[in-house]
Amino acid sequence: MSIEPPVPATRSAVELIKENSLQLRGGLAEELARDSEKFSDADKQLIKFHGSYQQDNRDARKDRHRDGAGKAFQFMVRCKIPGGKVTASQYLAIDQLAEKYANGTLRITSRQGFQLHGVLKSNLKQTIREINDCLLTTLGACGDVSRNVMAPPAPFASPVYQELQRRADVIAQLFAPRSKAYHDIWLNGVAVSNGAPELVDEPIYGKLYLPRKFKTVFALPEDNSTDLFAQDLGFLAHVENGAIVGYNVYAGGGMGMTHGNTNTFPFIAQAICYIAPDQVVAAAEGVIKLFRDHGNRADRKRARLKYVLHDWGIEKFRDVLQTYLPFPLVLPRDIPVTGFPLSVGWHDQGDGKYFYGISIENGRIKDEGDLRLRTMLRKLIEKFQPNIRLTPMQDILLCDLPKSAKPLINRMLTVYGVAKPERISLVQLHSLACPAVPTCGLALSEAERALPGIIDELEAELAKLGLDRDKIGVRMTGCPNGCVRPYQSDIGIVGRSGDKYTLFVGGNLVGSRLNFVLKDLVPMSEIVPTLLPLLNDYKKNRQGEEGFGDYCHRLGTDRCGAIG
């Protein structure tokens, strides 16, 4: 039996919607049966828990406004895929749905999931049902719950990598909502038109669910591709003699902020404690319950776990967390994070098979002009039936391939206009962008459609300087919510207004440090010119193998600003 946390006196409107939703049902079933293009304001909040966001095509606004037609409403549908593991048949099913119901593209998220964009309300139920038919789910991919659980994606025949993937599956299953609303609404469950629906025990979430979203990852010291420091909860594996002997537990990371609101800010996760391998589930449950009971339910802009940790301080956080743990809290060990592998190109799995990592620019799988990436992937997956891993860098790994697959795959890359990783610049390989305009209603500026041009310009300047073999991470978002984690990277570009951005420098590839503002309100056309003086100085004055972010961090805000 779950123990309901105390209901706070002051709550946001979304908190009231959740409490009165009959475990996330609201009026969703009735709204789906109604001939309309959108949901009510209350129900558009609830569909997030079911894996969808109500959006509109912002490119179409001007013409529709002129014609008096109003907004062109559509929906994003997100799959929750622990560790990014997808079978060949699942990939092909999602690819087919992209053609049937969405805009003909697939998007790999920076949290190892799939998104479909452009789904109409009339097709929403069928889309979600068919996703479940292929044994994937959208439940909990969005909303105020534990979202997709990430793990290093490389399919090495290593007990350590395999254990982290297994742990991700366990945590994802244990902390999925128990409500039957998802089945009843989307999967032809028993609709309840008279009387109350069947309510079940929610032992973790209670009737209020969490104050905001909650993100969990597993990582290795040499493989922090999951961005441990940007997450609400992270488990950093401690490995000895090829086996995991414990974990440092991190908590309180998060990237979201609001321009002009100094009470909101990005925050790097802190090492809280050290646990044995058999204490992972209890530790995760303790942190989630602490957040459930103590997170801010009045102001959603300040409702993430990071603000609890920031406001309390780490010692109080540890003291309170101890009351949720069935074992004594042990202080964390010194386990440095050192690596951020991309896993692109050919790799030996260690079991006689190979995987091939294909770089997907900004995660968008599409056919456009001479680039026929979506067609190529479909043909390769149909032929070889590989297992698939989606990476946090929005790339795709084709796994369990025979060595004999190499010549055909190499040839198909050329035929379908898909660049091999060795022909892609390091700065592009280490870049990320969120979708932003036209689908995201929160976007203030372009990101996915703008970053390729910025990267092209940056590539040219880096080549002139002889810095083209340097690993420099660039992350761009259309708003300050920071979905692709721009505040940890060497270079962060965050939408400010229209074609203007806030430019950040001073993070690093492994994401263990926040960057800082180099310049605000930079026009898109001035982003690379603004960086160029710093890049010149970096070439001349860096120390040893110092990375660009490390160099900027060493100089500090004032000196970087004076140079830039």
As a whole number, mean pLDDT of residues 330-348 equals 97
Q: Tell me the two tokens of residue 366.
A: 């599409």
Domains and CATH numbers, the chain: 1-11+142-190+202-341 (3.30.413.10), 52-138+343-424 (3.90.480.10), 427-563 (3.30.413.10)
pLDDT tens profile 300-338: 999 999 999 999 999 999 999 999 999 999 999 999 999
Contact 288, 210 (CB under 8 A): yes
* SS3 per-residue string spanning 201-226: CCCCCCCCCCCCCEEEEEEECCECCC
pLDDT tens profile 492-525: 999 999 999 999 999 999 999 999 999 999 999 9
The DSSP annotation for 41-105 comes to HHHHHHTTTTTEEEEE-GGGHHHHHHTT----EEEEEE-B-GGGEE-HHHHHHHHHHHHHTSSS-
pLDDT tens profile 67-84: 677 889 999 999 999 999
Mark out the alpha helices in 175-301 (DSSP H runs): 181-186, 280-294
pLDDT tens profile 47-67: 999 999 999 999 887 676 666
Element holding 272 (H helix, E strand): strand 270-275
pLDDT above 80: residue 5: no
Strands annotated E in 360-506: 364-365, 367-368, 371-372, 387-390, 396-401, 431-433, 474-477, 491-497, 500-505
pLDDT tens profile 196-251: 788 999 999 999 999 999 999 999 999 999 999 999 999 999 999 999 999 999 99
Q: What percent of the chain has pLDDT over 90?
A: 93
Collapsed DSSP state (helix, strand, coil) of residue 500: strand
Collapsed DSSP state (helix, strand, coil) of residue 333: coil
Neighbouring residues of 333: CB distance < 8 A, sequence distance ≥ 6: 238, 246, 248, 274
* Residue 331 CB burial class (10 angstroms; 0-12, 13-18, ≥19): exposed
Q: Tell me the two tokens of residue 242.
A: 């090829």
Collapsed DSSP state (helix, strand, coil) of residue 106: strand
* pLDDT the model gives residue 393: 98
Name residue 112's amino acid. Q
By annotation, the residues acting in catalysis are 78, 147, 213, 215, 434, 440, 479, 483
pLDDT tens profile 111-153: 999 999 999 999 999 999 999 999 999 999 999 999 999 999 9
